[in-house]
Structure 1
Amino acid sequence: MTGTTLTGFDPNAARHRADPHPMLARMRAQVPVYRHVNGHGRVFWYLTRYADVQRALQHPDLGRQADRLPPELAAPHRLAGFDPLAAWRRNVFHLDPPDHTRLRRLMAPAFGARHVAAIGRHVDRVVDDLTSAMAAGSGPVDVIAALALPLPVLVVAELLGFPLGDRDRLRRWSDEMARSGDPLRIRVAGAEFGRYLATMLDERRGDTGDDLLAHLVRARDAGLLTRAELIAAVFQLLMAGDETSVNLVGNAVLELLRHPAQLARLRADPGLIDTAIEEVIRFNGPVGHTGLLYALADVEFGDTVVPRGDVVVPVLLAANRDPEVFEDPDVFDIGRTPNRHLGLGHGIHYCLGAAPARMQARAAVGTLVRRFPSLTLAIDPAGLTWTPELFLHGVRHLPVFPHGEPR
């Protein structure tokens, strides 16, 4: 049945968003290389087996850049839809070698152990402040608004070296661009952020600081990257790191509250926080599928040939519950080892911000579990609103009672 149609199935249909796993399990068992044609006539091939996803993420004939295709094959992808932020998409996430290699090498030092450790101390302070504010109230608190949303932008601002007083503006711009879904609001926020960043780049010329922005400005001045590439890199850090971390914290809190035995286990042994976060990434991770991959040549997966010019979609959520790789894949086990999940990607596009994302989740979830022993959901999980597309996977709001449900 590989490559045939699964009747009535649209991978991005709203009815699957709260819990895509049953449908993904059907795909993996019945049509693991699934061909879907969207309303614009573009052909997408969804991969759901671990081995296929892993292979796709390393395949030399699958790339992130549609402009590497002949014009007649690239045209449908260029015309697929209006993107108000298209000029900023040429960043590490969307590029192939050699540009990807060059830009990633310039950004990588900021994500090294020394920088991450320094940011970690800042994260601990921020999490303590945010959870103190949560503790002050007596009613329900939205974990997303109170903790998961403000935390990543503070971390990115610290990483880049933005002024402390600008972080509320950065948070607003990030929310508008990533969460509003309104092209006009996205364009306005993008323009405001672009002007802000242009001013910042002019002010930082010749800066000898140790933050990432100073490093990138020096690289620009040395001719190692263009001004457009620098802006695109900062945009990627603000947007991609933000949404991944928000979803990871939200999904982690939700899964622990939906699995009280595992929550009790973590409270009894806080040292399990590392494996707990890895299990969240595997079991119900923050990214549904990787960025789209364009077939630069015909590519085979099993007995199916994906034609040149079509789009390949490696579904991480499905690969991470493949019973060929994971024992009892539908069981949430915070002590699971080994855990060879693909939840943050694989190969050259492995998430550049994986270490800061994990660090934020460990700090946020570990503090919540320790500080609020009576933490409970303030909403039926069936009533939660999820991200609108399969690409990013997380709840928009997560109301909880920090001190337990009022009696």
Structure 2
Amino acid sequence: MTTQEPGTATEALPQPVPLTGCRYKADPYPLYQRMREAGPVHRVLFPSGVRAWLVTGYDAAHAALNDDRLGKNHDRGNDRWRARASIMPEPQHSQLQVHLLHQDPPKHTRMRRFVTDAFTPRRIDSLRPRFQERADELVDALPETGPADLVTGFAAPFPFHVLAEVIGLPQELAARFDRDWGKVVQPVGPTDPGRPRYEARLHGLQSYIAEVVAHKREHGDDDLLGRLVVARDRGELSQEELDSMIFQLLVAGQEPVTNQITTALIALFRNPGPLARLRDDPGLLPRAVEELLRYDSAFELTTWRFFDQDSDLYGTEVPAGDSVIVSLCAANRDPRRFTDPDSLDLDRTPNPHLAFGHGIHFCPGAALARAELQIALGTLLTRLPGLHPTIRDEDIEWIPAVLGRGAHHLPVGYDRRL
């Protein structure tokens, strides 16, 4: 990877602004600050070669997330976008990418109603004791006095165990899920040396989804996965919609939470004052989680949006079919909306962050993610006294995902395991 950073505070931003390099992934906020100060919309360049329009300010981001001129369906993308867009190849794109994130009303409205009941705050609250049991089981399996990698030992398995509980993934199938399949959301080009491994991930995940569908059809379980299969058999969903929704649940339902646990812990390790307060007063957890979501969100950028005709976007003319992306992280550090936005303030209220998006594509699993983060952080800080990183801050290996933030590993030590 490169270590480039576009310009300095006194230099003009390049056009397009490259969103690349280890320094950018480790700390994108100085660049986002410069972009916000220069204006709400910028032409950017991703590592794949895709060029897009990035929305950075809070007000502009909030408006874009609610702008019904901007559609999510990939069919809106123009040839320039399609030529380099980092999306799945065919036939997998047509089979796995027609989920909620890439749909517009009325299709989005029809599909979303199949999943909302499984993620209501009331249902999530009723399952909290089971989530706590899962968290405690994982901590019980950690070394008594450290060291440990909190990604492999906790942050990765915990959200998946919880997700399986919520959607009805059978234990025998859950045990065979390969976390490596989640990397299919980080596609590589056809000439990339990693292409064969990427395609193997795709085929492996597709085969797994087929097994899940067959199991649910055979057993007739009354859970989210079972109800989705019934909807397919009744003709209410197509096979591609069914497979895509299961794909979205399995991938988007766990990896972002894994990453959010790591970004939250890293933020706390960098801010010993708030960390000490949270250790001493677990009652701060709900408010602390909201601030940690704002401070460094695992959903750094949204997925593509498109105008169906040449349109004005906050004074910038955007051609039809060009991709528009909203930077949730940049919006959440906008000083025009948040006082002292670069400080981690556990007393911040109100806290109208955009970590879960806004509008019709607001994350349906937000209540679940909040519960997971509260339980994860509360359990780790309570049961691992003296929890601290055993890696230098500059040595943290940030995942190279285009849209998300998180660390590959988080080595820690602690005094003992309670």
Does residue 54 in structure 1 map to residue 59 in structure 2?
A: no
Does residue 189 in structure 1 map to residue 201 in structure 2?
A: yes
Instruction: Name the structure 2 match of 1:146.
Output: 153
Task: Decide which of 339, 342, 356 is 2:368's aligned counterpart.
Answer: 356
Give the superposition deviation at 1:79: 5.2
Give the superposition deviation at 1:157: 1.7
Give the superposition deviation at 1:264: 1.1
Instruction: Name the structure 2 match of 1:121.
Output: 129
Instruction: Name the structure 2 match of 1:343.
Output: 355
2 CA distance for matches of 1:76 and 1:322? 29
1 CA distance for matches of 2:45 and 2:139? 45
Contact 2:19–2:47 (Cα < 8 Å) also in 1: no
Does residue 221 in structure 1 map to residue 226 in structure 2?
A: no
Contact 1:245–1:357 (Cα < 8 Å) also in 2: yes
Residues 246-292 of structure 1: per-residue CA shift (max 9 Å, x gap) = 11111111111111110111122211101111111101111111111
Instruction: Name the structure 2 match of 1:163.
Output: 170
2 CA distance for matches of 1:215 and 1:63? 28
Query: Which structure 2 residues correspond to residues 317-396 of structure 1 after superposition, within 5 A?
Result: 317-396=329-408
Residues 151-207 of structure 1: per-residue CA shift (max 9 Å, x gap) = 121122222222212223214454554579743333323323322332332342375
Matched residue SS, 1:205: helix
Instruction: Name the structure 2 match of 1:16.
Output: 24
Query: Which structure 2 residues correspond to residues 98-113 of structure 1 after superposition, within 5 A?
Result: 98-113=106-121
Matched residue SS, 1:204: helix
Counterpart amino acid of 2:380? Answer: L
Identity %: 37
Counterpart amino acid of 1:155? Answer: V
Structure 2 portions without partners, runs of 5+ = 1-10, 189-193
With normalisation by structure 1, the TM-score equals 0.91
Instruction: Assess, with a 3 A threshold, how the Cα gap between structure 1 residues 202 and 49 changes in structure 2: closer, same or farther.
Output: same
Give the superposition deviation at 1:383: 0.5
1 CA distance for matches of 2:256 and 2:44? 26
Structure 1 portions without partners, runs of 5+ = none
1 CA distance for matches of 2:68 and 2:150? 41
Instruction: Assess, with a 3 A threshold, how the Cα gap between structure 1 residues 12 and 95 changes in structure 2: closer, same or farther.
Output: farther
Instruction: Assess, with a 3 A threshold, how the Cα gap between structure 1 residues 296 and 13 changes in structure 2: closer, same or farther.
Output: farther
Counterpart amino acid of 1:331? Answer: S
Instruction: Assess, with a 3 A threshold, how the Cα gap between structure 1 residues 303 and 118 changes in structure 2: closer, same or farther.
Output: same
Instruction: Assess, with a 3 A threshold, how the Cα gap between structure 1 residues 81 and 346 changes in structure 2: closer, same or farther.
Output: closer
RMSD of the alignment, in Å? 2.3
Counterpart amino acid of 1:282? Answer: R
Contact 2:46–2:402 (Cα < 8 Å) also in 1: no
Instruction: Assess, with a 3 A threshold, how the Cα gap between structure 1 residues 314 and 82 changes in structure 2: closer, same or farther.
Output: closer
Instruction: Name the structure 1 match of 2:85.
Output: 80
Residues 37-75 of structure 1: per-residue CA shift (max 9 Å, x gap) = 568875411111001111111111111113135xxx346
Counterpart amino acid of 2:145? Answer: S
Matched residue SS, 2:276: helix
Matched residue SS, 1:17: helix
Matched residue SS, 2:309: coil
Instruction: Name the structure 2 match of 1:273.
Output: 285
Residues 94-123 of structure 1: per-residue CA shift (max 9 Å, x gap) = 111121111101111111234323432221
With normalisation by structure 2, the TM-score equals 0.88
Does residue 32 in structure 1 map to residue 44 in structure 2?
A: no
Instruction: Name the structure 1 match of 2:3.
Output: none
Give the superposition deviation at 1:16: 0.5
Task: Decide which of 207, 210, 220 is 1:198's aligned counterpart.
Answer: 210
Matched residue SS, 1:247: helix
**Number of matched residues?**
397
Contact 2:384–2:414 (Cα < 8 Å) also in 1: yes
Instruction: Assess, with a 3 A threshold, how the Cα gap between structure 1 residues 201 and 15 changes in structure 2: closer, same or farther.
Output: same
Which is worse superposed, 198-207 or 310-319?
A: 198-207
Give the superposition deviation at 1:357: 1.2
Matched residue SS, 2:113: helix
2 CA distance for matches of 1:63 and 1:211? 31
Instruction: Assess, with a 3 A threshold, how the Cα gap between structure 1 residues 170 and 42 changes in structure 2: closer, same or farther.
Output: closer
Contact 1:384–1:398 (Cα < 8 Å) also in 2: yes
Counterpart amino acid of 2:25? Answer: R
Contact 1:176–1:185 (Cα < 8 Å) also in 2: no
